[in-house]
């Protein structure tokens, strides 16, 4: 609540000190048009949240699997890891998004809607960063911990599940939280495909009410609140994991 108060104060002070003739009436919930405009803007919230959650979920799974290749003793797996990461870390997300949506139907006859294409693109792009995060976390666990697992008869899977991964997770959780914020922000690019997310709704409303500064200011506020919520939840999870040490 403290953060929201600060945010609203910043917007209020900006409005007072600027020579711009602000037209917040377009978003005034006490007015019929303002209330309907707010409803229209917020209707894109579910799409933004869902595409972000699905994307981070799949990118975590894919990133973890790719990171395991870097721990292998076989060069072919190490090279696969390196090539995958360098490719998807180098391609701009917007380019990847357009290629998945427009390129796959032409080359392979595979067609996806904007929602699925957005999830695929965000997952592939973010998984390259997640793979490096997981690799760093897994390698940070001391060799003594791994040797301890072997000494009590654990196999590779059990060693990873009960010893290595829980310790690595505590280390990499802040970085994973940052990637969730990254995915949430980058999900706005999916609006270019016509997906009715927060950004798309804002663009459509600007065309009809001709108040771009007010609408995009509210859009900034929407994303800011979402990111503050994610940051709060990640910090709570970090504290919970620390208490379980």
| CATH code of the domain covering residue 232 | 1.10.3720.10
State how far the Cα of 83 lies from the Cα of 67, in Å rounded to an integer. 12
What is residue 3's predicted lDDT score, i.e. its pLDDT?
53
Q: pTM value?
A: 0.87
- The one-character DSSP state at 164 is I
Any domain includes 16: no
Any domain includes 196: yes
Task: With H, G, I as helix, E, B as strand and everything else as coil, classify residue 153.
Answer: coil
Any domain includes 51: yes
| pLDDT, tens digit, 9 for 90 and up, residues 190-238 | 999 999 999 999 999 999 998 999 999 999 999 999 999 999 998 888 8
Any domain includes 121: yes
Any domain includes 21: no
Do 136 and 115 meet the contact criterion of CB atoms below 8 Å apart?
no
State how far the Cα of 26 lies from the Cα of 223, in Å rounded to an integer. 19
- Domain encompassing residue 166: 30-243
Any domain includes 10: no
| pLDDT, tens digit, 9 for 90 and up, residues 130-142 | 999 999 999 888 8
Question: How many domains does the structure of the chain reveal?
Answer: 1
Average pLDDT over residues 32-61: 95
For residues 63 and 73, the model is more confident at: 63
Which alpha helices (H) appear in the chain, and where do they start and end? 2-17, 32-42, 45-70, 75-90, 93-98, 104-108, 114-140, 143-151, 156-159, 165-186, 198-209, 212-243
Average pLDDT over residues 45-69: 95
Any domain includes 107: yes
Any domain includes 106: yes
């Amino acid at each position: 609540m403290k953060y929201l108060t600060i945010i609203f104060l910043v917007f209020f002070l900006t409005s007072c000190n600027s020579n711009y003739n602000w037209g917040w009436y377009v978003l005034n919930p006490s007015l019929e048009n303002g209330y309907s405009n707010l409803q229209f803007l917020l209707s894109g919230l579910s799409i933004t949240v869902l595409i972000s959650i699905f994307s981070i979920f799949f990118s975590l799974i894919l990133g973890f699997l790719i990171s395991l290749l870097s721990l292998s003793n076989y060069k072919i797996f190490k090279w696969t890891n390196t090539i995958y990461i360098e490719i998807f870390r180098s391609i701009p997300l917007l380019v990847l998004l357009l290629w998945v949506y427009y390129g796959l139907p032409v080359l392979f006859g595979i067609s996806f809607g904007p929602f699925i294409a957005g999830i695929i693109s965000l997952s592939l792009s973010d998984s390259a960063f997640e793979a490096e995060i997981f690799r760093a976390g897994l390698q940070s666990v001391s060799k003594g911990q791994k040797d301890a697992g072997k000494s009590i008869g654990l196999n590779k899977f059990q060693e990873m599940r009960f010893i290595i991964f829980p310790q690595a997770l505590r280390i990499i959780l802040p970085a994973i939280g940052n990637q969730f914020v990254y995915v949430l922000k980058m999900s706005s690019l999916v609006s270019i495909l016509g997906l009715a997310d927060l950004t798309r709704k804002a663009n459509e409303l600007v065309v009809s009410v001709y108040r771009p500064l007010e609408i995009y200011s509210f859009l900034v506020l929407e994303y800011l609140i979402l990111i503050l919520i994610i940051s709060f939840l990640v910090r709570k999870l970090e504290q919970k994991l620390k208490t379980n040490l």
